[in-house]
A and B are shown apart, each in its own frame.
Chain A
Amino acid sequence: MSEGRTGPGPAVLLSLAESREAEPVRSAWIGPLLALGTRLSRKSESFSGQQLIVAISVPSHEFAAVLVGSGWTLGRPPTQTTTDPLTVLRPASTEGHYRAVNAAYVISGQFQGLDESRGSPRITLAGRWSIDRFVAIAPTAEQDPAERMPRPVIGSIGRMSGIARDWEQRLVAPAADLAIIGTKSWINQDLEAVLARDDDADGDAIETLLLPKTERSATWFTRIYSSSGFADQLPLPDDLSLAILDGQGAIKYLNDILVPIVVCIFDRSVADETAAEQVVQLRNSRGEPVSLRDQLGWSAPAGVEAFAFTVAL
Chain B
Amino acid sequence: MSRVTELDHRYAASAALARHGVELIAVHDALAARFDAVTRRLFRLIQRDGPGVWDDLAGAAKSLRWRLATYPLPIEYNEALTLGVQQVVRQVTRLRGAVDEPELLSEMTDAAAALLTRDPLIGGILVDSVHEVGVDAAMVVAASSRVREALSAWLTPGGIRVLTLGDLERAEISEEIAYFVGPPRFFKPTAVTAPRTPEVTFIVPTWFGDRSIPRSAIADYAEGGIRVSARLVEAGEPAPEATEQAVGSPNIIPEEELLPQPFWGARQSENRAPTADELEARKVLLSGGRAIWLDDDGERIRALDPIQPAGERVVYADVSALSPGTYLLLREGVAERQALHARAFDRTGDRAAAIQGSQDQWKSILFERLRARGIRESERALRAVGVRAAGQVRSWSSPHVIRPQSDRDFELLLGWLDLPIQPFFGNASILRHEVHRATRELRDRLEAAADIVNLHELERVGHMTLDIEDPGFRGMFVTRVMGVSPFTELVARHEARVPFEDQGAQWLE
CB distance from A145 to the nearest CB of B (A): 21
Q: Judge whether A279 is part of the interface by a CB distance below 8 angstroms.
A: yes
Query: Which A residues lie within 8 Å of B225 (CB)?
Result: 305
CB–CB B7/A303 < 8 A: no
- B267-323, CB < 8 A from A: 300, 305, 307-309, 311-316, 318, 321, 323
Q: A16-B4, A283-B221, A300-B223 are in contact. Are A232 and B314 (CB under 8 A)?
A: no
CB–CB A279/B218 < 8 A: yes
Query: Which A residues lie within 8 Å of B308 (CB)?
Result: 183, 228, 249
Q: A228-B312, A293-B223 are in contact. Are A269 and B190 (CB under 8 A)?
A: yes
Q: Judge whether B12 is part of the interface by a CB distance below 8 angstroms.
A: yes
CB–CB A62/B3 < 8 A: yes
For B445-489 the 0/1 string (1 means CB < 8 A from A) is: 000000000000000000000000000000000000000000000
Q: How far is the CA of A277 from the CA of B217 in the complex (A)?
A: 7
How many A-B contacts are there with CB distance less than 8 Å? 151
CB distance from B312 to the nearest CB of A (A): 4
Query: Which B residues lie within 8 Å of A305 (CB)?
Result: 216, 218-219, 222-226
Q: How far is the CA of A278 from the CA of B314 in the complex (A)?
A: 21
**Chain A interface (Cβ < 8 Å from any Cβ of B):** 1, 16-18, 22-25, 27, 29, 55, 57-60, 62-63, 183-186, 193, 226-229, 231-232, 234-235, 249, 252, 266-274, 276-280, 283, 289, 291-293, 299-307
CB–CB A228/B11 < 8 A: no
Query: Which B residues lie within 8 Å of A193 (CB)?
Result: 4
Q: How far is the CA of A252 from the CA of B305 in the complex (A)?
A: 14
- Give the contacting residue for B222; candidates A60, A185, A307; CB below 8 A: A307
- 9 A-B pairs closest in CB distance: A276-B217, A274-B321, A305-B222, A302-B15, A300-B224, A268-B194, A271-B188, A303-B11, A59-B10
Query: Which B residues lie within 8 Å of A299 (CB)?
Result: 223-224
User: Interface with A: B48-56, B172-180, B255-263, B435-443, which one?
Assistant: B435-443
Q: How far is the CA of A58 from the CA of B223 in the complex (A)?
A: 13
Q: How far is the CA of A307 from the CA of B2 in the complex (A)?
A: 30
Q: How far is the CA of A232 from the CA of B8 in the complex (A)?
A: 36
Query: Which B residues lie within 8 Å of A184 (CB)?
Result: 312
Query: Which A residues lie within 8 Å of B8 (CB)?
Result: 1, 25, 27, 29
Q: How far is the CA of A235 from the CA of B405 in the complex (A)?
A: 9
20 further interface pairs, Cβ-Cβ under 8 Å (given A270-B307, A277-B321): A18-B2, A24-B4, A25-B8, A57-B218, A59-B14, A228-B312, A249-B315, A252-B316, A266-B216, A268-B194, A272-B323, A276-B216, A301-B11, A302-B14, A302-B18, A303-B11, A303-B15, A303-B18, A304-B224, A305-B216
Q: A185-B309, A302-B18 are in contact. Are A307 and B221 (CB under 8 A)?
A: yes
Query: Which B residues lie within 8 Å of A59 (CB)?
Result: 7, 10-11, 13-14, 193-194
Number of interface residues of B (CB under 8 A): 50
CB–CB B405/A234 < 8 A: yes
Q: Judge whether B169 is part of the interface by a CB distance below 8 angstroms.
A: yes
Q: How far is the CA of A237 from the CA of B309 in the complex (A)?
A: 27
Q: A185-B311, A228-B312 are in contact. Are A266 and B218 (CB under 8 A)?
A: yes
> Can you list 29 A-B pairs with a CB-CB distance of less than 8 A?
A17-B4, A25-B2, A25-B4, A25-B5, A27-B8, A55-B218, A55-B222, A57-B222, A62-B3, A183-B312, A186-B309, A227-B312, A228-B313, A228-B315, A229-B440, A268-B189, A268-B194, A271-B188, A276-B217, A277-B321, A283-B221, A291-B223, A300-B224, A302-B18, A305-B216, A305-B225, A305-B226, A306-B222, A307-B218
Query: Which B residues lie within 8 Å of A234 (CB)?
Result: 405
CB–CB A270/B218 < 8 A: no
Query: Which A residues lie within 8 Å of B226 (CB)?
Result: 57, 305
Query: Which A residues lie within 8 Å of B318 (CB)?
Result: 252, 274
Query: Which A residues lie within 8 Å of B3 (CB)?
Result: 18, 62
CB–CB B190/A268 < 8 A: yes
